[in-house]
Structure 1
Amino acid sequence: MNVTPGAPSVPMRVLHNEARDAMLIGYTDGDPLREVIRFEMDPRRDLEVNLEEVFEVFNEPGPQLVGLEVVRRYRAERHRSLSKGDVLFYGEVAYAVAAAGFVRVYPTRESITFR
Structure 2
Amino acid sequence: MKYCADSCQVEDTLQFVAGKWKSVILYRLFQEQVGRFSDFKRWLPRILTRVLERQLNELVADGLLEKRVYVAVQPQTEYRLTVLGQSLWPVISAMEKWGQYYHQQRAAVTSADASIK
TM-score of the two chains, using structure 2 as the length reference: 0.27
Structure that is richer in helix per residue: 2
Which has the greater radius of gyration? 2
The TM-score, its normalising length taken from structure 1, stands at: 0.27
